[in-house]
Amino acid sequence: MFLTALHLFQFKNYGEAALHFDQPVTCFLGDNGSGKTNLLDALHYLSFTKSAINPADAQNVKLGESQFMIKGTFRREQKIHEVVCSFQTGQKKIIREDGQDAIKFSEHVGKYPVVMIAPQDIELIWDGSEVRRRFFDSLLAQIDHLYLDDLIVYAAFLKQRNSALKLFAERGRTDHDLLAGYHDKMVPAARRIHRRRQEFLRSFLPAFQAHYQQLSGDRPEVMHIQYRSDLDEADFETLLQRNLARDLALQRTTTGIHRDDFLFLLNDNEVKRFGSQGQQKSFLIGLKLAEFELIARQKGFKPLLLLDDIFDKLDDRRIRQILQLVADGVFGQLFITDARPARCLAVLAELNLSADAIHIKNGTFTR
């Protein structure tokens, strides 16, 4: 898959912009705040139908305007496809592929996959379970539409169940028939999500461990990812009934796959507590490279790889290892942002990588 063109209208700091691409590597170069990351976020929109940074569509409209439009032209399997994402304040967002509006956004996710490595990704290591669930859910959503459908169903009925629990507390009366109706939808979806997460981790883990060992220099370290779920111990329907009194007291659902976690372990200890800074960075990049590998394997073509400001976050050795994979043909099309043009271009030249350098200043581009 190759992105040949990107057009923006009233998106973030851009009034109107058009870019064309013909090189395997494109560098967006400019000062911090110039809009480099916004271009990567536009590509994320075309893939996931939403921003990687700000989930509120209205806040991605250029200041003072009421709408935005992103259009990407892709070459995939010798065919040209046009994807348009548009939003207007007070109206529903539109995703259009080759002139046809998507009825369900979930059906679009995964058609034009991207893998993004950004500074905030370190939250995967440092933060709580929600961030790690989101990483694996995002990955699975790109390769398994049924999984994404189950996530949407589960989230919708979980929200309704939580609202009902609050209402029951206010009224002092529990509607068990209403809860049973929610459980009829939540339980099958949760069972499938739990099973799919287990299955997926078994295929993801070897790819991750191989990439980590390559990044760490084959040091004798045992890196592992452990999936933990309430559903490991009992059936979800049983758990919901068993915990109903607690749910009513706390006015929220206290058990389920929305509480699952993926523990990142180094020699059986948590990486965030016992891993060095270098080990944590290698762990993070290993996760992302495994994500790329599994998506490419499942789709039969390579997703776009977006590297946002990694030169300031990773050491030179790890950066060269990633870019060497581009030179070796492991990756396909790569987009990089950097605030120090000389540094980025020097590394690319050292690896003899052909790259298109686009300098950004005040929303305008020069090559």
CATH of the domain at 194: 1.20.1050.90
259 inside domain: yes
Considering the domain boundaries, does residue 162 fall inside one? yes
Whether residue 25 is contained in a domain is answered as no
Residue 351 within any structural domain of the chain: no
Residue 107 falls inside a structural domain: no
pLDDT attached to residue 218: 62
Confidence band for 313, pLDDT divided at 50, 70 and 90 = low
Mean pLDDT of 264-276: 88
pTM equals: 0.85
153 domain residue, yes or no? yes
Q: Is residue 22 part of a domain?
A: no
> Does 142 map to a domain?
yes
Q: What domain count does the chain have?
A: 1
**Please, which pLDDT band fits residue 230 given cuts at 50, 70 and 90?**
very high
What is the residue range of 261's domain? 121-302
SS3 readout for the chain: CEEEEEEEEEECCEEEEEEECCCCEEEEECCCCCCHHHHHHHHHHHHHCCCCCCCCHHHHECCCCCEEEEEEEEEECCEEEEEEEEEECCCCCEEEECCEECCCHHHHCCCCCEEEECHHHHHHHHCCHHHHHHHHHHHHHHHCHHHHHHHHHHHHHHHHHHHHHHHHHHHCCCCHHHHHHHHHHHHHHHHHHHHHHHHHHHHHHHHHHHHHHHHHCCCCCCEEEEEECHHHCCCHHHHHHHCHHHHHHHCCCCCCHHHCEEEEEECCEEHHHHCCHHHHHHHHHHHHHHHHHHHHHHHCCCCEEEEECHHHCCCHHHHHHHHHHHHCCCCCCEEEEECCHHHHHHHHHHCCCCEEEEEEECCEEEC
For 7-46, how does the pLDDT look when each residue is reduced to its tens digit (9 = 90+)?
Answer: 999 999 999 999 999 888 899 988 888 889 999 999 999 9
